[in-house]
Each structure stands twice: as C-alpha cells, then as structure tokens.
Amino acid sequence: MSKLPKDLSYFRGKIVPSNEANVNIQTNALQYGTAVFGGIRGYYNKDFENVFIFRIKDHYKRLTNSAKMLQLSFDKSIEDLTEITLNLVKECGYLENIYIRPFVYVSSYELSPKLHDLETDFAIYVLKLNDYIDTKRGLLTKISSWRRIDDNIIPAISKASGGYLNSALAKSEALQSGCDEAIFLDSRGFVAEGSAENLFIVRDGNLITTPVSASILEGITRRSIIELAKGLGFNVIERDILRSELYVSDEVFFSGTGAQVAWVKEIDHRTIGKGQIGPVTKTLQDIFFNIVKNKEEKFKHWLTPVY
Ligand code: PMP
C-alpha cells in the first residue's frame, strides 16, 4: 500500500517526486533572488473529509502581478494555476493542514542580475503546516533596527524573493533578542508590518491597519480581516501608525497566511493592553478559524475544496 501523503512537487511542467525537483547551482534566481513566490494555506476539516484552500485565486492574482512588476515571463492563467495546484495536492493525498508554496524563478544561467527576456520556470511544493507562529500565546515583539524595503528599492507590494533578505534580517534579529517577531518601520519612520505579516491595532474601539503606502505587502489575510471586521460593524481605518501609538494600543495583532491571526503581548518590553488577547482580536480570530475550516456559510466563496 502506498504511504500518504506522497512527497511530490510541480517542477518543469509536471508532477515529480520532490527529491527530483532540483536546480543547477548556476541558476540566476539562486544567485540574485530573481523570483516571486506565494504562500497559500489549505485547511483540513474532518467533518467534510476535505481540505479547503483559502482564497487561491487571490493568491494567484498577486503572484501574477508580482511577476508582472518584475517583468518575469509568466503566462499561466489563474484558472490553470488553480488546476495545477489542486492536482498536485490531490496526487499527494494530503488530509491535514497544508501550506502551498508556488513560485516563478529565473531558471536561466544568465550571469548578470537582470529580469527581462530570461527563461523562467514555475514550481510548487507543499508542506504540512499547523501554526507558523503561536496563535494562542501572546507574541513578544520588538521594533526592528532594519527598515522595511521601500517600494523604490524593491517593489514592496510584490512577493519578490530577493526582498525577503530584509525579512530574514529582521526575523533573525528579533529571535536572537529573545522575541518571537519583528515589527518594521518604513523608510519614513512609520509602522509598516511584521517580517511576514501585516499589523492591526485597536485604539478606542477603532480597528486600524497600516496603509499600502507604508511599504507593506498587500496581504490577502489583511484584506479578509478588513472585510470581516467591517461586516461585524467595526470602524476600520487604514492610516499611518506611529511607533509610540503601538505602545498604548488596547490590542495589537498580526495577520498573514502563515501567522493567521496572532496576538501581540509585548512590544519593546511594553505590555500591550492587559497582556491578554483582546476582545476584538479574539472575535476576529475565532471567526477567521471558522471561515477557513468551512464553518461559516457566508464565506464559503473564499474556499476551494481539494477533493
Ligand atoms: N507581509 C509580508 C512581508 C508577508 O510575507 C506576508 C505573507 N505573505 C504578509 C504580509 C501577509 O500576507 P498574506 O495575508 O497574503 O499571507
């Protein structure tokens, strides 16, 4: 009997065993980070015996836009990308929470760091993934000494692989300082986001999140939280947030595909609110987890079943 899930990937146009999905060391993307990627979650619901992929078309729209911004040649339609992904997950046989990593990379052996008119490849691998950062315990965070990449340095709203050196610097600094996560300021000194997640605060009953102009990645979870919160009657504001405002917020939380909805307990040794998960965060976190597991009829359209 075959053992499930099978460790398969999509590579050079077909599904292959992951240990055969390898690139040559001369690959341009390996040298310069000339690639764009996505991160998509699938949630297993035992009652349905199915895995539900969260907002797959929105993720592929962003991947396509990221490739366009960087002039990477990429001509697959969102429908084709969705079909390829569903086939891969099905063939692997996953019946658990998963993380899907699609990416477009410059596969050419071109020596110079450039983007246009080069051969690219599209690949996908899949992993089992539950929490990426703890969603139950409050996170200890610090303002990073690294500034978030500015849009005129590396397009910040693209998920450009090379740009993630910036995230890696901030994340390592935070972990090595005994924290769980970093908070970036943008080049102007306003709050941007976490190393791989968007940021929300609650102040005086308002839900506030940093704007796209603060060099953030336009998160799909962020967009979902905004829509959800508005539907629940919250006053949602997208505006610049000052670093010092964070310290006196009633609640702070991160949103992201990896992070899901994760609450912040401490920033720069200041306790946020009462040092517990706040009521707004708890409400949004509970609904979010119900939605992704297909327990909220109203948001079924955000999910694509695998089987
Ligand atoms: N910002 C950055 C820098 C990220 O890497 C991510 C993760 N993709 C996010 C925000 C959250 O985006 P999303 O909700 O689409 O996962």
74 and 115 Cβ atoms separated by less than 8 Å: no
| Residue 148 token pair | 């978030």
Ligand 1: which of 149, 166, 217, 225 to mutate, most ligand atoms within 8 Å of CB? 217
Give DSSP secondary structure letters for 237-256: EE----HHHHHT-SEEEEEE
pLDDT band per the 50, 70, 90 thresholds, residue 3: confident
Radius of gyration of the chain (CA): 20
| DSSP-assigned beta bridge partners for residue 47 | none
Centre of ligand 1 to C-alpha 63, Å, is 12
| pLDDT one-digit tens code per residue, 41-95 | 999 999 999 999 999 999 999 999 999 999 999 999 999 999 999 999 999 999 9
203 and 139 Cβ atoms separated by less than 8 Å: no
Domains of the chain: 8-128 (3.30.470.10), 139-292 (3.20.10.10)
Output the pLDDT for position 257. 98
| Cβ neighbours of 108 (radius 10 Å) | 17
| pLDDT one-digit tens code per residue, 155-208 | 999 999 999 999 999 999 999 999 999 999 999 999 999 999 999 999 999 999
Mean pLDDT of 262-282: 98
pTM for this model (two decimals)? 0.97
| pLDDT one-digit tens code per residue, 128-158 | 999 888 999 999 999 999 999 999 999 999 9
Catalytic residue among 159, 171, 265, 293: 159
